Structure 1
């Protein structure tokens, strides 16, 4: 009988061990994973501020205004050249093609007039675009992989 009781206790003990759950504690070193790239800014309804025309960085001289472009969903384009406001229409497939009709502009003089003229010439010559992150680049039709005509940056108003 004693042998039976010992077998029963051993069996019960093994049964209890089989039912036991363990809380495994694992420690790991946090891995530094690269964040996925930020989604590109929207082409439409974004204020695109001119940062570069051709190879020239854009600085706003005293008395000038920050040049920008705003494309509306209805095809209207408007902006500031630095001295003058302008309007146009833009045809796009929203993927890579972008063409502007001739710009209508006011005719005021200011110290930033050369920058404005380069900007409006870049818009007139634009045929395609690329957005990466918060950067919009405009390209000529014959040079889609060359230096962009203009580089603009999305600026979000809060």
Structure 2
């Protein structure tokens, strides 16, 4: 009798553990879908480029940023010049092509050029809380952007 009770108890524990894992998996899938939706209609301010912090000064007074729309457009500011492009997003894989920008003579254009290069190299996106990570084809983080709180 004790063996039967023990076997039934183990069976119940095994089934409940497997059910719990399925729930976690479903929650992770929902979270990934929400993150994809959160990409759009948010102002993302550039924090780091290739591991280097981006700091504003008198030669670089405007915060570089970008905005993705649900119509697959992307636009923003490089620090002085504005830019626009389009993108294709499937799961966390992204393609950004044909970036067009204004051509104002500004100090510190090297950072603007690096930002454009990073956007063109971006193959994967990931959102961790309010941080957008842009990753290259090798899944290396090439830029970090933070969501703007007050729109």
| TM-score of the alignment, normalized to the shorter chain, above 0.5 | yes
**Deviation >4 Å, runs of 4+:** none
Between Structure 1 and Structure 2, which shows a larger proportion of strand residues? 2
- Answer whether contact 1:46 1:156 (CA < 8 A) is retained: no
**5 Å matches for 1:1-158?**
42-63=38-59, 64-93=61-90, 95-141=91-137, 143-144=138-139, 146=140, 148-158=141-151
* Offset of residue 116 of structure 1: 1.0
Q: Secondary structure at the match of 1:42?
A: helix
In 2: Cα distance, 1:60 partner to 1:120 partner? 18
Q: CA deviation at 1:60?
A: 1.5
**Structure with the greater alpha carbon radius of gyration:** 1
Distance in 2, Cα, partners of 1:102 & 1:62? 30
Q: Which runs of 5+ in 2 are unaligned?
A: 1-33
Q: How many residues align?
A: 117
TM value normalised by structure 1: 0.69
Give the RMSD, CA atoms, in angstroms.
Answer: 1.8
CA–CA distance in 2 between the matches of 1:107 and 1:43?
Answer: 27
